[in-house]
């Protein structure tokens, strides 16, 4: 029997570091007041989930708890954002004279990040976490994670081929990906269709 699969990829709410336009990876920053207000406005606009897989970082866990108060939150280190190493918490203005940062800007998909992750290392970590998802127990899965993680997965699995940087991921929003059958997902095929979430009409009417 053919079973479909739906996986929703969500980005955490706006944080104080995001408002400063700082690099934010494995360190954390609390949700800003504006971020919390945006999340509260979205209450009831998503599907309901029994379980939500979340990056273990507090900004993701907190967002998941606020959006899905009745779900159990399953923390997973593997769905963390890229590790920005020595650049964590710093802005472009603070880094623009750094030679390593300049080299990274020239080739962000290959250059190293001091004491952090290169893009190839980040990419493999995320795709391994994706392959390890247990889709046998649920055919409708939600993952609360980070902008870079959502971009990475869309670049590989969205039906339309777009580059990593071409995907725009709003805070507390994302995409729902659909596969017609589980075997297509297991083979690593692109999804059949996707749609933006949330739908801006509350699910309960």
Two tokens at 43? 């209450």
Two tokens at 188? 């690593």
Cα-Cα-Cα-Cα dihedral sign, residues 184, 54, 57, 9: positive
Question: Mapped to the 3 state alphabet, what secondary structure does 88-157 carry?
Answer: CCCCHHHHCCCHHHHHHHHCCCCCCCCCCCCHHHHHHHHHHHHHCCCCCCCCEEEEEECHHHHHHHHHHH
Per-residue model confidence (pLDDT) at position 202: 55
- Res 201 pLDDT > 60: no
Of residues 204 and 65, more confidence is placed in 65
Per-residue model confidence (pLDDT) at position 200: 62
- Res 1 pLDDT > 60: no
156 is in an annotated binding site: no
Average pLDDT value over all residues in the chain: 94
Euclidean distance between CA atoms 41 and 53, whole angstroms: 22
pLDDT digits (tens, 9 = 90+) for 68-85: 999 999 999 999 999 999
152 is in an annotated binding site: no
132 is in an annotated binding site: no
Per-residue model confidence (pLDDT) at position 205: 41
Euclidean distance between CA atoms 86 and 162, whole angstroms: 29
17 is in an annotated binding site: yes
pLDDT-derived band of residue 140, with 50, 70 and 90 as boundaries?
confident
146 is in an annotated binding site: no
134 is in an annotated binding site: no
pLDDT digits (tens, 9 = 90+) for 183-197: 999 999 999 999 999
Please provide the size of the chain in residues: 205
18 is in an annotated binding site: yes
Closest Cα to residue 95, out of 70, 75, 119, 113? Answer: 113
pLDDT digits (tens, 9 = 90+) for 31-59: 999 999 999 999 889 999 999 999 999 99
Q: Do 78 and 129 touch, CB atoms closer than 8 A? A: yes
What structural domains and CATH numbers belong to the chain? 5-197 (3.40.50.1240)
Q: Give this prediction's pTM.
A: 0.94
Per-residue model confidence (pLDDT) at position 204: 45
pLDDT digits (tens, 9 = 90+) for 12-30: 999 999 999 999 999 999 9
């Amino acid at each position: 029997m053919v079973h479909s699969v739906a996986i929703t990829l969500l980005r955490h709410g706006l944080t104080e570091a995001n408002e400063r336009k700082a690099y934010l990876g494995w360190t954390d920053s609390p949700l800003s007041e504006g971020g919390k207000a945006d999340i509260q406005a979205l209450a009831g606009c998503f599907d309901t989930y029994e379980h939500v897989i979340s990056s273990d970082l507090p900004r993701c866990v907190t967002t998941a708890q606020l959006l899905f108060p009745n779900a159990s939150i399953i923390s997973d280190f593997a769905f963390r954002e890229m590790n920005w190493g020595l650049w964590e918490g710093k802005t472009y203005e603070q880094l623009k004279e750094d030679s390593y940062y300049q080299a990274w800007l020239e080739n962000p998909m290959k250059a190293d990040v001091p004491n952090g992750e290169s893009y190839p290392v980040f990419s493999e970590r995320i795709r391994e976490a994706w392959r390890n998802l247990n889709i046998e127990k649920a055919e409708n899965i939600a993952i609360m994670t980070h902008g870079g993680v959502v971009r990475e997965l869309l670049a590989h699995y969205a039906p339309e081929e777009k580059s990593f940087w071409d995907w725009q991921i709003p805070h507390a929003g994302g995409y729902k990906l659909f596969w017609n059958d589980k075997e297509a997902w297991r083979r690593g095929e692109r999804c059949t269709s996707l749609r933006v979430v949330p739908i801006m009409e509350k699910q309960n009417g």
